[in-house]
Structure 1
């Protein structure tokens, strides 16, 4: 059974702060700019609450406000929140030199991803100079179940824990190649355990082939995964595995052995991000 906890039930939880953060999190590629009523709908907060939070965030420099449309959008200063993470993360700092070496040797796009809830978050990336159509910026979140990085991490967990995480995933098909069947997914995890690397073939982005191996902390807990991504226009699925499987395993092992990673709490024991923020916001508004 996967442990869960309700962080918002703690007396240490500050609901007002959570509501403010929910305003920052409301913006997305589909909604890059919003009026106060739109922000209220997106967050579940009242218009008066959103007005106070938006004004405060604008004053602090995290939001912009268009004087004509009255729409708010994220300001460049909001990047500081994410940049502080990549500048202080032991996984990123310890992994970057090895990831850069992998990028130079493979001449392909190489990434480092970290598990968070039911997603993999891309925390470092070195792009190829060759043709590559997939945009995978740092901070991008992709599901555990349909990514090579996610499967690499799941394969290093206890089988019952890995299955429980897969069952919690909303296993929808992003492409015609997305594997959603539980037995087929468990077979992919077994492949990763047997071969030392995981794979995916156009399961989130059509034509994107990815090979990945897990990074382990000092206690053997998976804390991330090294990826090499290539387009199917230049590589076959079999060729990519044969060439990059050994390379990602070697790089992941080097990061794991670099002594930059201490023992960490397993990611699956932590509260999935976002749920507490919106739940607390709605509760505070009496919804």
Structure 2
């Protein structure tokens, strides 16, 4: 919860959003006590929040188990963001072209805090090891799109992001030391693209490039999924990296207001 004492800050709204965020893949359904604990609010507040959300249609209660779950209406909020996001509209044709040219799944991610969030995705017909639907989040420090984005940031912002990140080891290949990550980001800056070689998920690799906005700062990243079952990283860099860089540049040239 925020400690901000600003007179305009609405704590009830904060609590309601905390309840919505409490539901996830590991907490698909919850009772009132579960909700209070997950949202870090007291049971009385949880009861008021969940009743309001149920009345508004964002959650429903199972008639037998009395456990609550989200409804599809929650997706309306995320859809409205995507519908209003100019970058997604601009990028989609280029992502589709990249997917057709490479034969692999292409993605657009945007930054949110210490993560990159999937906002557009063109899935190839070929097998990919990890399903990442729109709205999925991945950490910046150990992913291709994250490092591509970080490579275009000023050094002080890059350092602050890495320092604040929970740099845990997801696989045996994950880099967690700041110096090692910065070394990879410096390589990214020199060649114009970043790579991720099974640092987040085994079998999952990526090649990514930053998208620079009109102010000269990164606004997003584009990346191609490169499954280790079909590619070596060396082959992928040689054959796919130029297309990924060109896609990012084409999107950048089409941006008018970001």
Q: Report the TM range for the smaller structure's normalisation.
A: over 0.9
After TM superposition, the score normalised by the length of structure 2 is: 0.97
Partner of 1:276: none
1:9 aligns with 2:5: yes
> Does the 8 Å CA contact 1:7/1:13 hold for their aligned counterparts?
no
1:112 aligns with 2:108: yes
CA distance in 2, matches of 1:193, 1:7: 38
5+ residue gaps, structure 2: none
5+ residue gaps, structure 1: 1-5, 263-287
Give the secondary structure class of the aligned counterpart of 2:8. coil
CA distance in 2, matches of 1:158, 1:181: 19
CA distance in 1, matches of 2:19, 2:3: 19
CA distance in 1, matches of 2:77, 2:255: 26
CA distance in 1, matches of 2:30, 2:180: 42
Partner of 1:97: 93
1:161 deviates by: 2.0
Which 10-residue stretch deviates more, 85-94 or 193-202?
Answer: 85-94
Query: What does 1:1-287 correspond to in 2, within 5 Å?
Result: 8-262=4-258
The number of aligned residues is: 257
After TM superposition, the score normalised by the length of structure 1 is: 0.87
List 4+ stretches of structure 1 deviating above 6 A: none
Q: Which has the higher contact order (CA 8 A, sep 6+)?
A: 1
RMSD: 1.2
CA distance in 2, matches of 1:58, 1:140: 25
Distance 1:7 1:46, change over 3 A: closer
CA distance in 2, matches of 1:188, 1:169: 16
Give the secondary structure class of the aligned counterpart of 1:84. helix
CA distance in 1, matches of 2:81, 2:12: 23
> Does the 8 Å CA contact 1:90/1:260 hold for their aligned counterparts?
no
> Does the 8 Å CA contact 1:214/1:225 hold for their aligned counterparts?
yes
1:175 deviates by: 0.5
1:193 deviates by: 0.5
CA distance in 2, matches of 1:88, 1:230: 30
Give the secondary structure class of the aligned counterpart of 1:9. coil
